[in-house]
Structure 1
Amino acid sequence: MARTLTARPDRMLGHLIDRTSEQRLTGSVAKFTYRTFRLPLQRPDSGSSAHTVACELCGQRVRVRLYSVTHTVRLRRRWLGLCGAGLVVLGLAVFGAFGPDPVLLGTAGLAVLSAFAAAVGFAAAVAGFTAYWLEDGVRMLKPNARPQHNLLQPGRLGSKA
């Protein structure tokens, strides 16, 4: 079950205060530190509404779209639909390759197609479930190319209240 939805969104407005880079064996890892603030907004009863929120640290105005609880539940269902479709494709690819009569392993081309379909199905299932879990009906409108502000989940590592 995904997180519960309330009249006030859980997301927080984050102001970027530090960006560092760290070298590891696998490559460079960027770390971002934000100063976070609660969004002083209430969800609309239906549909969506656009709001302008001022950052408490720098005063810059940030545009945010907030979806109602029912609309957010619909968005979550769409993401679950993508997850389900990915699982169906993954299941058909695996069943076709390793089922009682392995049809797809007869030729090399079908075996490659089956492996590709399984990978796409798995990726769609993971992406759909992740988006379903994180969907909370809050969007930033017109984000910058190098964002000074971001919408963050509460308790995110690197954020400071």
Structure 2
Amino acid sequence: MDRTRLADALASGVVLIDGTPVPTGNRTVTGKENFNGKHRKQALNVQVAAWPDGTLADVSDPVPGRRHDSVALDLVGWGYQIRAATDQNPQPAVFGDSAYARHTDWTPLKKPKDAPRPPQDVAFNRAVASFRAPVERAIGLLKQWKILTTGYRGRLAELPMVIHAIVNLECYRLTG
């Protein structure tokens, strides 16, 4: 079974996105290019798209781990696809965490400086967080594959093919 692309997911309506690191171990060749400061390890960053029921829709090619999720979204071409889909049809709703604030309107609201968070903002953030939970479950399904959790030790040039094979197997497992 062929894997569904992001464009198909955007055409269907609601898409949930998030990024996750794939550990690669220390490699002298990459230097600090792949060092993910948030997770304090060498990793490559992949973007994950899911439907609201938690079904995996698409996984991007990996980008250097030091890249922020919003930059990674542009590097893999998903930012352009999201903007093009919303320009053609204002219906698709893309939900992401606060890292994707410039790509979508559906992100948690930030707390005003030197002021308490208004109750309506708390309620909105809680609703967005609960609606985004299925993409975290989709990432959890991917992370059940040991190679994506403990560290990929093969050639980095082959990692995109490994990720695509895992995504195809997951999609086949869920539909078959």
Normalized against structure 1, the TM-score is what? 0.23
Bigger fraction of residues in strand: 1
Higher relative contact order (CA 8 A, sep 6+): 1
- Hey, which of these two has a bigger chunk of helix by percent? 2
